[in-house]
Structure 1
Amino acid sequence: MQTKILTHALALALTALAVAPALAATDTAQARAEAHLARFAAQTFHGPDHRYSVRDVVIDADGTEHVRLDRQYKGLRVIGGDVVVHSHGSGSFLGVSQTLQRGIDVSATPVYGSAAAQAVAQGRVAGDARGSAPELVVYARGDRARLAWDTRVFGTRPDGTPIEAHVIVSARTGKVLDSWDDVHDAAAAGTGNSFFSGSVPLTTDLVSGTYSLRDPSRGNMYTLNMKNRTSGGSIFTDADNTWGNGTTGDTATIGVDAQYGTAVTWDYYKNVHGRNGIANNGVGAYNRVHYSRKYNNAFWSDSCFCMTYGDGDGTTFNPFDSLDVAGHEMTHGVTSRTANLTYSGESGGLNEATSDIFGTLVEFYANNASDAGDYLIGEKLYKAGGGKALRYMHSPNSDGASADCWYSTLGSLDVHYSSGVANHFFYLLAEGSAPASGPASPTCVAGNTKKATGNASLSGIGRDKAGAIWYRALTVYMTSSTNYAGARTASLNAATDLYGAGSAEWNAVAAAWSAVLVN
């Protein structure tokens, strides 16, 4: 016993020694970033009333540092004040990525009270809503900063989807300035015998002779059976570590799909992008399946750090936890932990597109013969099959609502439809306009913005390079209010970092954006 204790202590000491340099490098990068914010105030819009907290730190192999910080002004959280400071390891300042367009100069004393703001917020959200106490904030997503109330409103939509809305109300006039929902839905819709992906391997947990659908090797991520309720739930357990029978007659079958999708998504982010879990902290998210009754949707929630899947109505829709939907929902969590793209306007469309992009890349990464990779989102959800899908990345307007091309009022669309422009861009970047295998993708011409009708010839750079560019753009350059023009800049910066300015990859990014009218 004494030997074991000493061995354990030695292992802990060695781990601490290994972690210490990484923590020291992060602390140094943070200190350097905060010094640059003050030194280059004309570019960073820093002032004496500004304070910062670190959200994320990315240090490249060559020592280049990218420190993402959230901003406070006079002790108030600044929505849209997030900033990424880019520095060379030697200490030189390389620039910033941010939403702010000018300095902040607002009174911290509200004219419009919190109770009135809460009433406005609750009246804005449909369903049986209840609100938390409003938080006084600085709202800086627009052309100038304004004092505002951020009220969290909770409730349930008519289709059963939970509401976790933010309603931003001016603290001067009582006008609603913005709103969005932290529940990001899919817009519609051992050995495991899954419904969608066939027989799949699972890593489970054995406790006191009983297996549970929990994966200790991937941050202890697990899956709950909601038993058609909307709260509570219990973890799936099994006696022989063989789960499900491939049909919906066994409730564990859908649990297998969710757990498998979560594992593949974890592996994709770790093995392809070096990301250790959704929050990059080694902690696994969890799944809730059999949510409500005949629920035609799936969603990610930041508050529970979890994915939730409905069973579908059984007539039009299957259960909503196919592989690409699992990758889509988990990616909402990645986005919230990095660029935190606000779920409204063009940034909301980019948020949804990011989930479609990486949901697709997860499907290709899985290389599962039962659910082969493609650029259709949720095609397995439809009982009739026949190529019908929730979204079509090569031709977004094939769903009758999404936009193929950018236009000036695109941000007024539902975020699931404004996402079409980025989805179209990504397909053109990865596959080109006329790939040898896969559908052709028409390019855009001015005047035909909903439906692409052009025939410009673009060559793709492949999914791996396109995915690397989008991941770096998301995690290093995009901020909460990035719009499509900002996404073009962010992805060109990412292509420069990875492949060089003026490289074939950089030129392909520029050409693909131009092909969807983002110039």
Structure 2
Amino acid sequence: MLAAAFSAHGAGAQMMGQPITTLTPQQSGTLLTRLAAMDAAQGLPPELSVRLASQHPGAAGQKIVRTQHTYKGLRIFGSESVVVTDTVGSVVGITTTDRRVGPGNSLAPLAVAPTVPAISAADAIRIAANSVAPRGTDRWPPSAELLIFPIARSVRVPAAQSKQEIELNAADLQEVIERYALAYYVKTRMAQDNKPVYYDTIVDANTGAILAQWPALKTVVGSGNSQYNGVVPINTSAVAGGFQMLDTTRGKGGRYGGMAITNANHSSADNPDPGSIYTNSSNTWGDGKQYVNGGSTTSANGQTAAVNALWGLMNTYDANRNALGWHSLDGNNTATYIAAHVDTSYDNAFYDDSCKCMYIGDGSHFNSLGAIDVIGHEMSHGVTAATADLVYAAESGGLNESNSDIGGEMVEAYARAGGTGNLIPASGNDWMMGTEISKTGQPLRWMYRPSKDGSSPDAWSSSLKFLDVHYSSGPNNRMFYFLAQGSKADPASDFYSKFLTRTPAAMHGIGSDKAYRIWFKALTTKFTSTTGYADARTKVLEAAQELYGANSKEAIAVQRAYAAINVGADVDETGASDGGGQQSMERIVNGGFEDGITGWNGNTATIGSDPAQAAFEGTRYARMGGQGRTTNQTLTQSVSIPAGATRAVLSFATHIETEEVHAVAYDQLTVTFKDSAGKVVRTLARYSNKDATAGYQIRSFDVLAQKGKTLTLSFAMHEDSSKPTYFVIDKVSLLAE
């Protein structure tokens, strides 16, 4: 659906467009007329309309126009469309979250009458403020928007009615609107007890009851001598008597006319003053050491936090601009700033959307919170706010936090590789958030295994929406890790998922660059404010298909990565087409045995079918053993792994059934690679009667170490003198690329 490929990244990869000029009033009017006509064609009454909300770049040559659905001029909360247009406003495509349909397919006009509130906006603000900070003072002026609030619940799709709760997949639930309420959407940005208290609250406009509430503060609990990165180049500006931390080459406008680092100089976190831009008589900054409490914030030691911040801000800007084509936080190249040394011994860093800026504390239990992944994390909240604006609660809030963790890790990878080039490097980041700021060495979050923190789940469940957003982000973090890096087949591994049931058991990743490109496109051009896990899967898959092809390995990887966290069904990787990288080739001939003995040598009489034994796929398999007497059988095939391979994975399905009653390995199946002289080069696995199972098990092995070799793959079965054991083999595959 979206346009031209960017050749430097291979087929299908795209850059986001340059900062845009917003639609003219005439173009906006024409677009709204077209959208109204589309709604009318669906039978929607004129009381239901749309209004323009925001505009930002899409792919090259396109704009994203976000619209809100309205009823009698009032916004319907969470009901939105993301409209892709060309440069003159013609509609190219639309993604919609439609919350205009209520119980029994009734529409909002039938459910809300009248639309005149019983309480005032000031009353709603007072109710919201008292509920979160009764002694608080306003950090930013509060606001109250009168709107229509859909009250929804999750119901099971028909096919999932009989499932146990623990068996539910995210795709088994759908949202149903129970009723609509006339309500105020209240935003309070307050301070109380020496800390910011930012909340969004939905207040019933007739009764004053609080219908919903969630926190709105996005946090993580010259040359410059950086604390975490050694001596780093930082862009500064010359001023009378020296230099200042103002980078005018990155971003325009904003409060300071460029990307700036300021000295909050311990101003209180409940109402922080960003202070003035850092200045220095020379263009060498910082001492690379943790700030000493009570010391000067402008000395070399005090400057180090500012060096950390500027290095992080520069790399966040460059990673998104150079790799994705996205300029600054909003895509339109508006400059931002970071204020260092907020409060005293403050163990936090936060992004404040009211100023579109970031504040960094010096830490007490933590080191200075200006590590590269923390900066990337917080600045990514600004990208979310400028695009999908994911509601910071329930599943959408988890995705909001996850996007920031993803952004932090990708910025870290980019910076560690030198901060240049138009690709996100495949390595360099640690896939853990906040390791460097931790004085114990324990990170805040593990993306590859979120449950290691003791609070975050590894996979979706129906209770996910009730968790704090820093924990409900966990499954999507794991999804992104698997999408980029792949998984492992060993159940004891931190990189294993029990939800991957297809072939191979260990899914292949597509690399950080492609993974980030797909995710970023979905976030900025498809997600709406209430997107949850199931909807995210659909839209991330669409992004992958548009970038790399409908049946590309990238699209297959998205499906598998989400399946790995219990969102949607798993799929086989075999048959995926190449979407811009080297083709993954099958090196096994007749791995499913459907062509009889073709390709196989040895005891080929073991190949066949039997109504008493189901195949893993198709009708045939190799069934070795089962004689109940001393027997040796072997099946072999010659295989070659190219010398230039970057990935090689052997996999097969096994079903083991036995009549042995003792826990002794009497009967065995050994899987090996042998050289041309018959010498074992590698023993891949040994299975025995002790491994008997009720069904098939997928086995998977990384065999890249054998690249450049032609070897014999051998399945060798030995059965002792009594009690039969059947070793059934099917779906043998060796994928190399």
Distance 1:433 1:46, change over 3 A: farther
1:138 paired to 2:138:
no
Question: Which amino acid counterpart does residue 52 of structure 1 have in structure 2?
Answer: R
Corresponding position of 1:180: 214
Question: Which amino acid counterpart does residue 108 of structure 1 have in structure 2?
Answer: T
**DSSP 3-state at the match of 2:249:** helix
Any residues of structure 2 matched to 1:189-268 within 5 Å, and which?
190-219=222-251, 220-230=258-268, 231-232=272-273, 233-247=275-289, 248-249=291-292, 250-268=301-319
CA offset digits 1:383-439 (Å, max 9, x no partner): 232xx100000000000000100001100000000000100100111101139xxx8
Corresponding position of 1:5: none
User: Which of 390, 406, 429 in structure 2 is aligned with 1:373?
Assistant: 429
Corresponding position of 2:201: 167
Question: Which amino acid counterpart does residue 40 of structure 1 have in structure 2?
Answer: M
1-structure distance, mates of 2:129, 2:22: 45
1-structure distance, mates of 2:353, 2:38: 34
Residue pair 2:143, 2:188 contacting (<8 A) in 1 also: no
1-structure distance, mates of 2:318, 2:68: 29
Corresponding position of 1:425: 479
2-structure distance, mates of 1:512, 1:26: 41
**DSSP 3-state at the match of 1:40:** helix
1:394 paired to 2:448:
yes
2-structure distance, mates of 1:425, 1:300: 25
Corresponding position of 2:655: none
CA RMSD of aligned residues (A): 3.0
Distance 1:251 1:407, change over 3 A: same
Distance 1:304 1:60, change over 3 A: closer
The more displaced of 161-170 and 136-145 is 136-145
Percent of aligned positions that are identical: 37
Larger helix fraction of residues = 1
1:516 paired to 2:565:
yes
Residue pair 1:185, 1:297 contacting (<8 A) in 2 also: yes
Distance 1:26 1:474, change over 3 A: farther
Corresponding position of 2:728: none
**DSSP 3-state at the match of 1:227:** coil
Question: Which amino acid counterpart does residue 435 of structure 2 have in structure 1?
Answer: E
Distance 1:471 1:292, change over 3 A: same
Distance 1:59 1:222, change over 3 A: closer
1:128 paired to 2:135:
yes
**DSSP 3-state at the match of 1:469:** helix
**DSSP 3-state at the match of 1:163:** strand
CA offset digits 1:220-241 (Å, max 9, x no partner): 1111111211232222100111
1-structure distance, mates of 2:18, 2:314: 29
**DSSP 3-state at the match of 1:403:** coil
CA offset digits 1:425-484 (Å, max 9, x no partner): 00111101139xxx85121449xxxxxxxx941110110111011000000110000010
The more displaced of 462-471 and 40-49 is 40-49
Residue pair 1:99, 1:479 contacting (<8 A) in 2 also: no
Question: Which amino acid counterpart does residue 344 of structure 1 have in structure 2?
Answer: A
Corresponding position of 2:332: 281
Question: Which amino acid counterpart does residue 380 of structure 1 have in structure 2?
Answer: E
The more displaced of 22-31 and 255-264 is 22-31
Residue pair 2:35, 2:50 contacting (<8 A) in 1 also: no
Larger strand fraction of residues = 2
1:154 paired to 2:193:
no
Any residues of structure 2 matched to 1:38-57 within 5 Å, and which?
38-41=36-39, 47-48=46-47, 50-57=49-56
Measured after TM superposition, the shift of residue 53 of structure 1 is: 2.0
2-structure distance, mates of 1:24, 1:121: 35
1-structure distance, mates of 2:485, 2:54: 34
Residue pair 2:499, 2:563 contacting (<8 A) in 1 also: no
2-structure distance, mates of 1:148, 1:79: 10
CA offset digits 1:256-282 (Å, max 9, x no partner): 000110010000111111111101222
Question: Which amino acid counterpart does residue 399 of structure 1 have in structure 2?
Answer: D
**DSSP 3-state at the match of 1:318:** coil
Residue pair 1:278, 1:334 contacting (<8 A) in 2 also: yes
> Moved runs in structure 1, 4+ residues, more than 6 A?
19-22, 24-29
Measured after TM superposition, the shift of residue 360 of structure 1 is: 0.3
**DSSP 3-state at the match of 1:295:** coil
Corresponding position of 2:344: 293
1-structure distance, mates of 2:45, 2:82: 13
1-structure distance, mates of 2:190, 2:555: 45
1-structure distance, mates of 2:360, 2:43: 42
1:79 paired to 2:121:
no
Measured after TM superposition, the shift of residue 130 of structure 1 is: 4.3
Residue pair 1:138, 1:148 contacting (<8 A) in 2 also: yes
In structure 2, runs of 5+ residues without a counterpart are: 1-16, 102-106, 153-176, 252-257, 293-300, 420-426, 569-737
Distance 1:253 1:92, change over 3 A: closer
2-structure distance, mates of 1:366, 1:411: 34
Residue pair 1:29, 1:65 contacting (<8 A) in 2 also: no
Question: Which amino acid counterpart does residue 131 of structure 2 have in structure 1?
Answer: R
Structure with greater Cα Rg? 2
The more displaced of 105-114 and 286-295 is 105-114
Distance 1:163 1:364, change over 3 A: same
Any residues of structure 2 matched to 1:317-328 within 5 Å, and which?
317-328=366-377
Corresponding position of 1:69: 67
Measured after TM superposition, the shift of residue 198 of structure 1 is: 1.0
Any residues of structure 2 matched to 1:448-463 within 5 Å, and which?
456-463=505-512
TM value normalised by structure 2? 0.61
TM value normalised by structure 1? 0.85
1-structure distance, mates of 2:122, 2:235: 50
Corresponding position of 2:5: none
Measured after TM superposition, the shift of residue 68 of structure 1 is: 1.8
Residue pair 1:137, 1:147 contacting (<8 A) in 2 also: yes
Corresponding position of 2:96: 97
Residue pair 2:18, 2:327 contacting (<8 A) in 1 also: no
1:362 paired to 2:411:
yes
1-structure distance, mates of 2:276, 2:373: 25
Measured after TM superposition, the shift of residue 253 of structure 1 is: 0.4
1-structure distance, mates of 2:29, 2:318: 32
The more displaced of 267-276 and 145-154 is 145-154
1:441 paired to 2:495:
yes
1:339 paired to 2:388:
yes
